[in-house]
Amino acid sequence: MPKILSVKQLYEADAATVKNKNISFIDLMEHVGILCFEWIHARLQGSQINIQIFCGTGNNGGDGLVIARHLKQYGYNVKTNIINCGNERSDVFLKNYDRLKEIGVWADMITCETELPEISENDMVVDAIFGLGLSRKPENFIKKVIQHINASNAYVLSIDFPSGLFAEKAVTDKDSVIKAYHTLTFQSPKLAFLLPENRIYTKTWEVLEIGLDKEYIYNAKTSNYLLVKEEIKPIYRFRDKFSHKGDFGHSLIIGGSFGKIGAVSLSAKAALTMGSGLVTVHIPKCGYEILQTSIPEVMVEVDGDNELQNFNFEVLPSVIGVGMGMGTKTTTANGFKKFLNTNKIPLVIDADAINIISKNKKLIELIPENSVLTPHPKEFERLVGKWKDDYDKLEKLRLFAKKHKIIVVLKGAFTAIAHEGELYFNSTGNPALATAGSGDVLTGIITGLIAQKYHPFEAALLGVYLHGKTAEIGMETEVYETFVASDIIKNLSGAIMDLFKKEPPIAESNPEQTTDTKKTKNNDDEEMYI
């Protein structure tokens, strides 16, 4: 599973590579710079636009100088600007500065505001000011340079990080960070790129595998991972020739209220389509005919007239998905509390069931071990209280799931799945999933997987991944706006088949290392030079 390494680990991996691979740091930087150059060259194909490279004086700046040299040697129109960030200049920065001079290029030294170069919106900017070594927020003159680049509207490619973005702590001054179109980051995905509060700093990003010491990375301990196909594929289980529906469990979906029967209907259909052997819904009477006619495969049990109150289901399910469209009326909340008091069956808890628990936190103790909670950020906030920033939110998530021995799926662009103190960030999906009923479908998918005896943690990983993949498949024929929750269910088989599809050669695309797979018709602005 791709590990999300810390800054300290990346520097250690760096040192281990130099030591164990018998490669000098300057050669490693040359290799990294060439990879970035090749990325640009593959897209520009010799185009004579102006490329302005902004370098700091550390190693991130050194990368910028290597890129500048190779672009120049390939005949590109390059202007190299060095920003005096302080008195420190790294050795390899200085070496690459000399190498650039050797091919006749004198970089421009920018030392004050009056020297800021003009940047046209048709230029391409390569941002190599700060990377991993950012130690404080950029201020004064450097902040001015960053603002100048941001105001230019040019296409900005950031090297390793959008300069000014901290790898492991929150930004306090939004105006001191580069707003990149794309970021080429090295070796490991960065936690900072997965956080909603940082989304303005890079529209898209991808990981360049720069060949750091494999053994070090293998042994490196982390509690943050990016969830990709290679890890999901082995979780999926093929069906045995002699299997029958009894082998695939019985999902019970409890939810619905007058006007919100659709939520249960979507969950039940998703559980069924995901392969649950049997599906029963337990709903208010008002939903009986709707359910029986819309999903004939599903069995229906009824409760109160317009909302749930008794939770007195008669079937013996293997798993229960609860909360969708349920409402939080007192009668329903009381019935749900009673149910929690006696229930021992694993749960997938969503929406109003989470809201009821949030209003009476003691109920958390009644949730069976290894149950799955699927809150969106607002529901999670009701559960754990406000957070300072997204890093704080992740710590709350990690601790909450661990403390209560449950799995929490915090929904978002990079849905985070918390289990036993670890976080797994999903790599699939796109904004098409921001649609009514999308969460109800996810609950149904996870419930349907647990019914088939997937461990709830595996069900959460596989379910979240497939749910996201359906939206990527959907964008082959639709746009974000037209994609609805039923399309997620429709594309589930495509998402499963995709697990076993052969990938195109790496040179064309490497989806496991890039969020580029999210490029769709709605997201073409980063393609301006391509």
Ligand X SMILES: NC(=O)C1=CN([C@@H]2O[C@H](COP(=O)(O)OP(=O)(O)OC[C@H]3O[C@@H](n4cnc5c(N)ncnc54)[C@H](OP(=O)(O)O)[C@@H]3O)[C@@H](O)[C@H]2O)[C@@H](O)CC1
Q: Is 88 in the site for ligand X (CB under 6 A)?
A: yes
Q: Which residue number, 161 or 336, has a Cβ lying nearer to K ion?
A: 161
Q: Is 63 annotated as a binding residue?
A: yes
Instruction: Using CB under 6 A, pick the residue from 51, 142, 191, 432 that binds ligand X.
Output: 142
Would you call 480 helix, strand, or coil by DSSP? helix
Q: Which residue number, 25 or 288, has a Cβ lying nearer to ligand X?
A: 25
Q: Is 56 in the site for ligand X (CB under 6 A)?
A: yes
Helix (H) or strand (E) holding 467: helix 456-474
Long-range contacts of 415-423 (CB under 8 A, 24+ apart): 415/464, 415/468, 416/194, 417/227, 417/457, 417/460, 417/461, 417/464, 419/457, 419/460, 421/223, 422/223, 422/224, 422/225, 422/398, 423/223, 423/224, 423/225, 423/394, 423/397, 423/398
Q: Is 167 in the site for ligand X (CB under 6 A)?
A: no
Instruction: Using CB under 6 A, pick the residue from 16, 51, 55, 132 that binds ligand X.
Output: 132
* Residue 158's binding partner out of ligand X, K ion, none, with CB under 5 to 8 Å set by partner kind: K ion
Q: Is 117 in the site for ligand X (CB under 6 A)?
A: no
Q: Is 54 in the site for ligand X (CB under 6 A)?
A: no
Helices (H), 257-409: 261-273, 288-294, 330-342, 351-359, 377-384, 390-403
Q: Which residue number, 63 or 350, has a Cβ lying nearer to ligand X?
A: 63
Q: Is 350 annotated as a binding residue?
A: no
SS (H, E, C) 107-120: CEEECCHHHCCCCC
Touching K ion, residues 140-199 (CB under 5 A): 158-159, 161, 163
Interior angle at CA 277, CA 271 and CA 283, nearest 5: 50
Q: Is 165 in the site for ligand X (CB under 6 A)?
A: no
Touching K ion, residues 93-122 (CB under 5 A): none
> How far apart are the C-alpha atoms of 45 and 42, rounded to whole Å?
6
Q: Is 58 in the site for ligand X (CB under 6 A)?
A: yes
* Residue 32's binding partner out of ligand X, K ion, none, with CB under 5 to 8 Å set by partner kind: ligand X
Q: Is 87 annotated as a binding residue?
A: no
430: tokens are 């796109």
* Residue 196's binding partner out of K ion, ligand X, none, with CB under 5 to 8 Å set by partner kind: none
> How far apart are the C-alpha atoms of 457 and 452, rounded to whole Å?
13
Q: Is 132 annotated as a binding residue?
A: yes
Touching K ion, residues 461-480 (CB under 5 A): none
In angstroms, the Cα distances linking 65 to 82, 126, 233, 316, 423 are 9, 10, 41, 67, 36
Annotated binding site for K(+): 60, 127, 163
Known binding positions: 59-63, 127, 131-137, 160, 163, 263, 325, 376, 411-415, 439-440
Would you tell me which residues interact with ligand X (CB under 6 A)? 10, 14, 28-29, 32, 56-63, 85-86, 88, 90, 130-138, 142, 159-160, 186, 212
